[in-house]
Amino acid sequence: MWLLLPLLALVAHAGGASFTPNKELLECASQILYMDQHSYQIPTNYNRNIPPGKNTTVYIGVNVNRVSGVDENKEEITLDVFLQVSWAENRLHMPSGMPFIDLPWEFRQLIWTPDLYIWQLQTMRIMSVLQEMASLRLYSNGTVSVSIGATITIKCEMDFVLYPLDVQNCAIDFGSYKYTSEDVRFEWREVAPWLGLGLLGVQRREFRLPKYVVTFATDKSNLIRNFGEGEHSAARLQIKLSRELRSYLLESYLPSSLFVIISWGSFCVIPEIVPGRMVLLVTTLLSLVTMFDTVSTNSPDALELKCIEVWLISCTMFVFIALLEYFVVLFGIRYDKSWSRRRQDLRRAASAAQLAPPPLHVNHSQRLGTPVTGTPQGGVFSPTLSVEDEGLKQQFEHQTIQRDSPILDSMPPNGGPSSFITRIAGMADRGVMFCGAQHGALDKYALMVFPICFLLFNVIYWTTYLSEAHRVMHD
């Protein structure tokens, strides 16, 4: 123990808390280390810049303690993990009779350590209470183990097109940025589970957050990354984030569906009650527009329309079409009331005009009793009608003018073939009259068609997006 006093004095002179990169201090610490009255000395021919051997295997073990949070806007995941890295170091020898020896954390600067690189790492902070949670241990079989408790922030590329049915697959790759796969290989090794409350020694693979269910899985395949001067080995940890749907179903899908169903109640309201039916449809439409704006503002951004936005836009269109249907009904009612009586008169006049006039039979006595005046024109006598005949002439002229009305254009003249425009006009006339029927024929059909269309939309929507989410989950 007396030989340790000069070393402690040097440590106190360097600051007392940790070793500084002082060459003399490191050389002194490398020569003598006392553990339980035993000394440990690094070989003089040891070179910390060279790996222990060709094709050295570095084992990676990760124990996730907690998922601190998921930031969708920054596309980041924060984890509290215990990271363990181990490799075989045959150049170091343990004192006899000892299973392992704990070396000071600063001792890592004196031996070879893998240049571990985490590809998706944003930030990393070693946990500390009274001291940093990091240890360096050498086992009797020549294995060196480094354990670190840290809080890491991982960058994860997320796609929110299927939001809120989206499943995010993130990967954390542990590898080397300097050594190729011929020099250093990385493989997974299971570590001791975190014995939390109620876990009974089972390592946690799933964490439930307010919005996500986070699961972890190690990829046992030999992952190779190509960059720099060759192929680099890496060990991958898969993170899967599946969203909790209960809150979205209760906050967005259920209210919007109820709004669409309530809009169908307008088909049961008498069309003449304009304020009641209009207030119902407009209020429902504005509620859906407000819900769409709120969801778009609070949800993460995506390059395309998100799944929930497609749903809300479709629900808004269902209510908007119901409002348009009411406008058509109002126009049909107004059209029907304005032209029904006049249409009947004009049709009777047109029917009378199409009939050929019967031959005129006038006896001689009636002919002599009726004064007829006229003037000779070119040898032809032109008679002049009396006052009664003039009234009849005006009546026929009035009927001829009314037959030129657009309403009668739908009737083929003299029973001949009608043109295309005439047929279209007739179909439009019948359609408008059907919409404005006092019995509410259009509302009756709408009350059947709208629920069927909405049910069909639900089947297509959920089948398409759920199958796509299932495919992404198992990719």
- For 427-440, what is each residue's pLDDT tens digit? 666 665 555 555 56
3-state secondary structure of 424: helix
Q: 2-32 pLDDT, tens per residue?
A: 333 344 333 334 333 334 445 554 554 544 4
Judged against a pLDDT cut of 70, whether residue 296 lies above it is answered with yes
What is the per-residue burial (b if ≥16 Cβ within 10 Å, else e) of 190-223? ebeebeeeeeeeeebeebeeeebebebebeeeeb
**What are the structure tokens assigned to 70, written together?**
């998921």
What is the per-residue burial (b if ≥16 Cβ within 10 Å, else e) of 442-468? bbeebeeebeeebeebeeeeeeebeeb
Residue linked to tokens 């949070």? 69
d(CA 326, CA 332): 10
Chain centre distance of CA 258: 21
Phi, psi of 248 (to 5 degrees): -70, -35
Residue linked to tokens 């936005």? 309
> For residues 57 and 18, which has the higher predicted lDDT (pLDDT)?
57
The pLDDT value recorded for residue 309 is 95
Phi, psi of 99 (to 5 degrees): -70, -35
In single-letter form, the type of residue at position 165 comes to L
Q: Which helix (H) or strand (E) holds 395?
A: helix 387-402
d(CA 252, CA 291): 8
Residue linked to tokens 């150049």? 91
- The domain spans of the chain are 48-244, 247-355+389-475
Q: Which residues pair with 184 in a beta bridge?
A: 56
> In the CATH scheme, what architecture does the domain 247-355+389-475 have?
Up-down Bundle (1.20)
Report the CATH number of the 48-244 domain: 2.70.170.10
> Of 59-73, 113-127, 400-414, which range is least confident?
400-414
pLDDT band at 406 (very low <50, low <70, confident <90, very high): very low
* Model confidence, pTM: 0.69
**What are the structure tokens assigned to 219, written together?**
């990829």
In single-letter form, the type of residue at position 83 comes to L
The pLDDT value recorded for residue 34 is 43
